Structure 1
């Protein structure tokens, strides 16, 4: 006769084995995540770029033959060449603006006009603001010495942000190269994505989920991030060619506004007013004003063409993704955040709608 305690011991032993295996799997996953974490944003960006550019590769397969590696290499090289010119101009503009500002301050040629009387009448902060402004117009070195710690902290923060932007562009170039490697194995990658989606969810829904993720990534990457980047390049080139002070920083502001779904006219209109106020009305300033104003509105033409393809992603989702990504990942997260959050949003509602 088998003792009655045998089933209980067997159950306990099986449960212990399951817990040990699960614990080992958790430890392995955590170790893998720690190793992969430094490359997480880079790989996410590479996958997003590869998925976004893959339709262009498929179009070129007809005229150039079925050579995925060659076509992917051509796309990456042409993209880098196109991007390096405006990025170089914007970087040079930022460096020149900082250098000119430092030279002007050191030479003592920087003069500030006294504050108007209306400033002192502002509620709460009017008198204090007017006093600081007046001291800056009379004794700027003394005011600078008084607030030197605060100025130093702000300057270091600004320099770190500028360095982060430069690192973001460099990371973008590396991500583009890795995306080219992914595109060189595009068909195999597409099959792998379907297999993974089928294994995670359901064999009958794997292809549908993979298609939904792909469409969401392309819609947001082209319709939000891509349009904002194109708008930044168009407006930034106009600022640089005209010699607007701080053209690079203003162009980055246009990029930020575009991703946050705010109008670029918040920057272009004041810049146009500044150019007219300093240079007057002439043929060059009028042409500059027309070009910059139209470039600031180009998103209204491109959004219906690009954002409407694939899926419908609410703008609050894009906005929250951009803000959250910028807080957690800086300039890289500003690009990745909207795409990742949009994919999660679409998958969540797909799961809700598929409920029995």
Structure 2
């Protein structure tokens, strides 16, 4: 009877172990993919809920202390206040935008859209003045022919507009559900924060994990308050003023202000033309025109006051790093990408600075003297 060679036995043993590792890794990968597929429909809602919970959590803790440590009651009150102060105004502005878009599409389809005549000064604009005046005059005198010329573009635009109107109710419900889930997360905030620290500690080490958890939390709050929060507050203020002042397409203009604010573009690009419309249209008396002008001017410059107070507070990374990460994430993945981009770039900055600080050729006072 032949005895197997030791090398062959060793090779067979390692082959079995390697096969066992591959089977286990495959099962873990399959389970991960299955879990992701099940959880995928809720990712957007859960991400918004987590962002809201992280942002509001300090206020939740302060309120809970005043209520005798009742975490659930504090979370419930904050959810109700958030729905009343954020979701409801957003629903009003979105409803106004939907009505404006739907009414415009219906007027275009029925050839009932009326364009006022262009002011005489338009023709005197440099370079583009004559063309703008000609097209504007044609739209005023013969709107059906203009619609006929732009029929392919208008048809595609109308379809997208109606899809956007149909999604408004879903957006409002998404934010309402996110607020409710954020309240549940805040109720169990301590255990959730400890779990996040343990996960990061398992990945990058205990000390570094705590540092990264703190930085991620501070970055999310900075972007929520300093970028999205400021843009949202400004858009809601401008939108409510325009809705009260019966400005045409008030909801659409408010959404443009929101997008401009997130992209760090001044809202005055919208409010100044609206103020000009108030004075040129002749539909407003002097006193209401002055009031709306003052309110729109304040709303258009509101970001200049709020942004320095909120953006970058508590973040152990320069404000340009946070801002660049937010804008890059916005360009790549939308509003949710703002938070991911700002957090990732801030963490990357911290890792880079830690690597630079631990240069092996740099001798500090605590280092032992070199051996000669």
CA 1:48–1:103: 2 relative to 1, 3 Å: closer
Within-5 A mapping of 1:246-325:
246-279=249-282, 282-311=286-315, 312-314=318-320, 315-325=323-333
Distance in 2 (alpha carbons) for counterparts of 1:172 and 1:100: 26
User: Secondary structure at 1:245's aligned position in 2?
Assistant: coil
User: Secondary structure at 1:205's aligned position in 2?
Assistant: helix
TM-fit CA distance, 1:75? 0.3
Structure number with bigger Rg: 2
Conserved 8 A contact 2:241-2:295: yes
The residue that corresponds to 1:167 in the other structure is 170
The residue that corresponds to 1:347 in the other structure is 347
Query: Cα deviations across residues 55-109 of structure 1 (Å, max 9, x unaligned)?
Result: 0011112221111111001100111112244234324423443465467664747
Conserved 8 A contact 1:68-1:186: no
User: Secondary structure at 2:206's aligned position in 1?
Assistant: coil
Conserved 8 A contact 2:260-2:267: yes
The residue that corresponds to 2:230 in the other structure is 227
Which stretch of the first structure deviates more once superposed, 138-147 or 195-204? 138-147
TM-fit CA distance, 1:201? 1.5
User: Secondary structure at 1:323's aligned position in 2?
Assistant: helix
Distance in 2 (alpha carbons) for counterparts of 1:107 and 1:150: 16
Which stretch of the first structure deviates more once superposed, 132-141 or 77-86? 132-141
CA 1:2–1:354: 2 relative to 1, 3 Å: farther
RCO higher in structure (CA 8 A, sep ≥6): 1
Distance in 1 (alpha carbons) for counterparts of 2:118 and 2:154: 21
TM-fit CA distance, 1:167? 2.9
- The TM-score normalised by the length of structure 1 is 0.88
TM-fit CA distance, 1:147? 3.2
Paired residue total: 346
Distance in 1 (alpha carbons) for counterparts of 2:112 and 2:346: 57
- The answer to whether structure 1 residue 202 and structure 2 residue 205 are counterparts is yes
- The TM-score normalised by the length of structure 2 is 0.84
Conserved 8 A contact 1:228-1:258: yes
Conserved 8 A contact 2:312-2:319: no
The residue that corresponds to 2:53 in the other structure is 50
Within-5 A mapping of 1:238-253:
238-253=241-256
User: Secondary structure at 1:263's aligned position in 2?
Assistant: coil
Query: Cα deviations across residues 265-309 of structure 1 (Å, max 9, x unaligned)?
Result: 010111001111113661111111111111111111111211131
Conserved 8 A contact 1:115-1:133: no
The residue that corresponds to 1:329 in the other structure is none
CA 1:114–1:43: 2 relative to 1, 3 Å: closer
CA 1:112–1:237: 2 relative to 1, 3 Å: closer
Distance in 2 (alpha carbons) for counterparts of 1:265 and 1:223: 18
Distance in 2 (alpha carbons) for counterparts of 1:179 and 1:121: 53
The residue that corresponds to 1:331 in the other structure is none
User: Secondary structure at 1:190's aligned position in 2?
Assistant: helix
User: Secondary structure at 2:314's aligned position in 1?
Assistant: coil
TM-fit CA distance, 1:192? 1.0
Q: Which runs of 5+ in 1 are unaligned?
A: 327-333
TM-fit CA distance, 1:122? 4.4
Conserved 8 A contact 1:313-1:342: no
CA 1:96–1:42: 2 relative to 1, 3 Å: closer
Conserved 8 A contact 2:46-2:178: yes
Q: Which runs of 5+ in 2 are unaligned?
A: 359-372
Distance in 1 (alpha carbons) for counterparts of 2:106 and 2:32: 54
